[in-house]
Amino acid sequence: MANTSPFYLSPLKYLTHRLDHLVQNRLWIKVLIGLGLGIVLGFLLSPNLGLVEPTTSGVLTAWLALPGQLFLALIQMIVVPLVVASVVLGLATNNDMNAMRKIGLSAVAFILVTTIIGTVTGIGLAQTLQPGRQIDSSALGVTVDVAERDVESATGGFPSIQEVPDKFISLFPSNPMASMVSGEMLQVIMFSAILGFALISIPPKRALPLFDLLGALQEVSMRVVSWAMYLAPLAVFGLITRLVASLGLNVLAGMLLYVITVVLGLVALALMYLVIARALVGTPIKQFFMTSKELLLLAFSTSSSAAVMPMTLKLTENTFKVKPGIARFLVPLGATINMTGTALYQGVATVFLAQVFQVELTFMNYVFVVTMAIAASIGSPATPGAGIVILSMVLEGVGIPAAGVALLLGVDRILDMCRTAINVLGDVVMCCVINEFITEDEESTTENTPPSQQYEPPSS
């Protein structure tokens, strides 16, 4: 049975054309202009200047944020089908089980090590700079006594030995459709991986129709992403305008040291990734950064690893020459579970709020924070605002008052943009490093795969 489907033979060949067109038209410059204009207009509409009535300002910023809300809705709508199609097709590109096992284990080891480093770095920076000592907890309406009672009554902690089997089984969705509807991305990844392995284990003629369907689904998903990217400059402009207008200058000034602490940690992580790329891949630090800068700026502006997933695939395959079987499996996986920047943010935020409420954290509390940061990051969606949801889980485990989250919400959008760029950089470095250590035998296995089970790399 001849395979004549253009979706199946070359699923990314036509998909990146529109994204290429956007980048060639300097979309990232338009996004940065929108960011700058949004900050200026937000200050003009903020209550500090008093140029506009608060009610009028609220109405204006709500309408200005409409393109941003539409952008986020499009990304959240399409992320699940995009991940499912990309993971299954990525597995189909390389049907050697030994190679896939090595790729998967290497990715998990890379993610665990870097996530632990990120969380510990965040905790260390927060302990050194003490940003929480600059904030008066009484302004939040929560006293130290309440905080202490919360510590004593906190029920969060490590799961017991008896609960571990149930936690493991919960990774396998009993109802995949329900997991997709509720956005449980780790369960979606597991379902997609099992589906992909099952498809490459049956005769190619029987698997071909479903692969064609998934190829078409991937193209449709990326087309929706490309439409959403046209909204990116207006989305950033509107969302930043509303953020700055609602915060005012006083809140921004009070949280400045906290923001600086997080940003310093993220810069340290970026340098770590670039050094890893230099040491293990051989790409000079400046060259690697300059090659990735457009992707990182788009990730910064969209605050979503999923939104830039097609661009990440294009960069890894076409520019860094990562094998399609590695890139198309690891990029969706990394966008879901590789959240090093988010883990660092959680470490800083936890120590920051503990300092605000004068809660003493023990060594076991810190171990719990690191463990929860890893576990929660793995299960978080690759969409804006996920970090603050994960943080609330971590805070519950160490007994820090939930009112502290409200303090962080003011600047979370800015930090979300920064940590998303680091997460995406980590995805690119992970693909390059693992690609570097794939053996010649594994490479030849992919090359010798029959045409009915092999994809053609996208054209450069």
Angle between helices 54-64 and 27-45 (to 10 degrees): 170
How many independent structural domains does the chain possess? Answer: 1
Give which of 13, 86, 15 is closest to 459, Cα–Cα.
13
Q: How far apart, in whole angstroms, are the C-alpha atoms of residue 348 and residue 373?
A: 11
- Residue partners of 267: CB distance under 8 A and separation at least 6: none
Asked if residue 165 is part of any domain, the answer here is yes
pLDDT at 408: 74
Rg of the chain's alpha carbons, rounded to an integer? Answer: 23
Asked if residue 79 is part of any domain, the answer here is yes
Asked if residue 367 is part of any domain, the answer here is yes
CB 23 within 8 A of CB 224: no
Asked if residue 1 is part of any domain, the answer here is no
Q: How far is CA 148 from CA 82, 235, 357, 398, in A?
A: 45, 41, 9, 11
CB 215 within 8 A of CB 89: yes
pLDDT in tens, the chain (460 residues): 444 433 343 444 444 555 555 555 566 677 778 878 888 888 888 877 778 888 888 888 889 888 888 887 787 787 778 778 877 877 766 656 677 778 888 888 898 899 899 989 999 999 998 887 766 555 444 444 444 444 343 334 445 566 667 767 777 888 888 878 776 666 777 788 788 878 878 887 888 888 888 888 878 887 887 787 788 788 878 877 887 787 665 556 667 888 899 999 999 999 999 999 999 888 899 899 989 988 888 888 777 787 788 888 888 988 898 888 788 888 888 887 788 888 898 889 888 888 888 888 888 878 877 877 776 665 555 555 555 656 766 676 677 765 666 667 667 777 888 888 999 999 999 999 998 887 544 544 444 444 434 434 333 3
Asked if residue 453 is part of any domain, the answer here is no
- Alpha-carbon dihedral sign for residues 70, 72, 78, 82: positive
Asked if residue 455 is part of any domain, the answer here is no
CATH number at residue 432: 1.10.3860.10
Q: How far is CA 427 from the centre of its chain?
A: 9
Domain that holds residue 444: 9-448
Helix intervals (H) in 277-402: 285-302, 309-314, 324-337, 340-356, 363-378, 386-398
Asked if residue 399 is part of any domain, the answer here is yes
Asked if residue 3 is part of any domain, the answer here is no
